[in-house]
């Protein structure tokens, strides 16, 4: 691993002529608003650049990670010693591919926000994505996390995906060639989701909008508003709910520094204003240990930790 902060600048400047934010506070790039600095943050706008930059960084031994909106991300206080590629709105095009009978196929780039994708499909009267209403994040993050709600998941709308694999090769995979499970797309962590083809159904725009409004109303009562958070911290254990286990252990409101178990939803940790990543991690350990003692169940984190090459 190349640990030279200055050398990464030279390397990146040879790979990318667009903007780079050096020594960037990662709290700006994740919804929990904690974490130290990344050496470099950039937002490529096309797949050729993503391939060139990641292959070039890997060849020189520099660490890199791809992120979306950072809505399921915990960045350590020591930051990230490498480059962060943000899949943002510049790499978020939506294109109708074909309309065959009831089914409609869309090609969507990884950086497209879920909210924009949902609005776009509602405007066209396309059904199938209503479950993402109120889930922040990008298409890429949602596929990688197999994000879901109300019994539906991203895998239910995926037709095929275009991936840049760990060897630096681009290829496509159909839905049945992927191994989606609960909150995972089953690919190695070094794989990048470049784009996905989604399959939706023809529907009634007004009716779909009303369904989304109802789902949003139900959501509002169940999650904290106005305080930075990263959604569910722990995965639900088989046959149960992490939130219920945490609540019945009496941990709502438990606080470490500026991090607190939400009063509204026990499986959410909120940043009350000045939390550090260490506060959040310490609180997660405390919650996991107390739930294990009380219920004999060991909770696994759902949130992803932004560490240097977690696959090594």
User: Active-site residue numbers?
Assistant: 183, 232, 302
Interface segment toward ligand FAD; rule CB under 6 A; list 7-15, 61-69, 165-173, 289-297: 61-69
Closest to ligand FAD by CB, 118 or 145 = 145
* Binding track over 90-129 against ligand FAD, x by CB under 6 A: --------------------x-------------------
- Residue 21 DSSP SS3: strand
Q: Taking CB under 6 A as the criterion, which residues in 262-301 touch ligand FAD? A: none
Q: Taking CB under 6 A as the criterion, which residues in 174-203 touch ligand FAD? A: 192-193
Q: Exactly one of 26, 36, 62, 72 binds ligand FAD (CB under 6 A); which one?
A: 72
Our finding on whether 141 is near ligand FAD (CB under 6 A) is yes
Contact 225, 31 (CB under 8 A): no
Q: Exactly one of 106, 135, 200, 245 binds ligand FAD (CB under 6 A); which one?
A: 135
Q: Exactly one of 145, 161, 269, 284 binds ligand FAD (CB under 6 A); which one?
A: 145
Measure Cα distances from 146 to 2, 51, 54, 76, 156 in Å. 32, 23, 23, 24, 9
* Binding track over 20-59 against ligand FAD, x by CB under 6 A: -----------x----------------------------
Number of residues that bind ligand FAD (CB under 6 A): 31
Phi and psi based region of residue 97 (left: phi greater than 0; alpha: psi -120 to 50; beta: remaining): alpha
- Residue 159 has which token pair? 């037709």
What's phi and psi for 192, nearest 5 deg? -110, 135
Closest to ligand FAD by CB, 6 or 312 = 312
Q: Exactly one of 108, 142, 242, 261 binds ligand FAD (CB under 6 A); which one?
A: 142
Query: Who's near 293: CB < 8 A, 6+ residues apart?
Result: none
- Residue 38 has which token pair? 């990344």
Q: How far is the C-alpha of 265 from the C-alpha of 233, rounded, in Å?
A: 11
Q: Exactly one of 82, 203, 231, 258 binds ligand FAD (CB under 6 A); which one?
A: 231
Tell which residue, 82, 74, 78, has the closest CA to residue 29.
74
Closest to ligand FAD by CB, 52 or 294 = 52
Our finding on whether 68 is near ligand FAD (CB under 6 A) is yes
Beta strands, E only, the chain: 21-25, 37-42, 64-67, 73-74, 80-86, 94-100, 103-109, 126-127, 148-149, 152-153, 158-164, 170-174, 192-202, 228-232, 255-256, 259-261, 268-271, 304-305
Q: What is the contact surface with ligand FAD in residues (CB under 6 A)?
A: 31, 65-73, 87, 110, 135-138, 140-142, 144-145, 147-149, 192-193, 223, 229-231, 304
């Amino acid at each position: 691993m190349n640990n030279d902060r200055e050398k990464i600048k030279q390397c990146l400047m040879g790979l990318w002529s667009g903007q780079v934010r050096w020594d960037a506070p990662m709290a700006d790039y994740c919804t929990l608003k904690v974490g130290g600095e990344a050496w470099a943050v950039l937002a490529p706008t096309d797949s050729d650049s993503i391939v060139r930059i990641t292959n070039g960084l890997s060849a020189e031994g520099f660490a890199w990670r791809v992120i979306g909106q950072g809505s399921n991300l915990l960045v350590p206080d020591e930051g990230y010693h490498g480059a962060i590629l943000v899949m943002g709105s510049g790499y978020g095009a939506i294109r109708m591919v074909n309309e065959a009978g009831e089914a409609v196929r869309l090609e969507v780039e990884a950086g497209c926000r879920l909210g924009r994708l949902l609005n776009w499909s509602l405007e066209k009267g396309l059904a199938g994505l209503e479950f993402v209403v109120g889930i922040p994040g990008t298409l890429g993050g949602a596929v990688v996390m197999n994000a879901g709600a109300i019994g539906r998941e991203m895998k239910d709308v995926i037709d095929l995906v275009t991936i840049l694999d760990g060897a630096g090769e681009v290829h496509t995979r159909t839905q049945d060639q992927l191994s989606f499970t609960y909150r995972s797309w089953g690919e190695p962590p070094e794989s990048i989701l470049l784009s996905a083809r989604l399959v939706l159904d023809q529907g009634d725009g007004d009716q779909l909008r009303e369904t989304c409004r109802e789902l949003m109303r139900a959501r509002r009562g169940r999650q904290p508003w106005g305080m930075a958070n990263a959604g569910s911290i722990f995965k639900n254990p088989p046959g149960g709910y992490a939130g219920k286990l945490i609540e019945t252990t009496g941990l709502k409101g438990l606080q470490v520094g500026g991090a607190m178990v939400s009063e509204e939803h026990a499986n959410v940790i909120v940043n009350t204003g000045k939390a550090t990543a260490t506060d959040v991690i310490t609180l997660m350990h405390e919650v996991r240990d107390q739930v294990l003692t009380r219920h004999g169940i060991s909770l696994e984190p759902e949130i992803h930790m932004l560490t240097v090459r977690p696959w090594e």
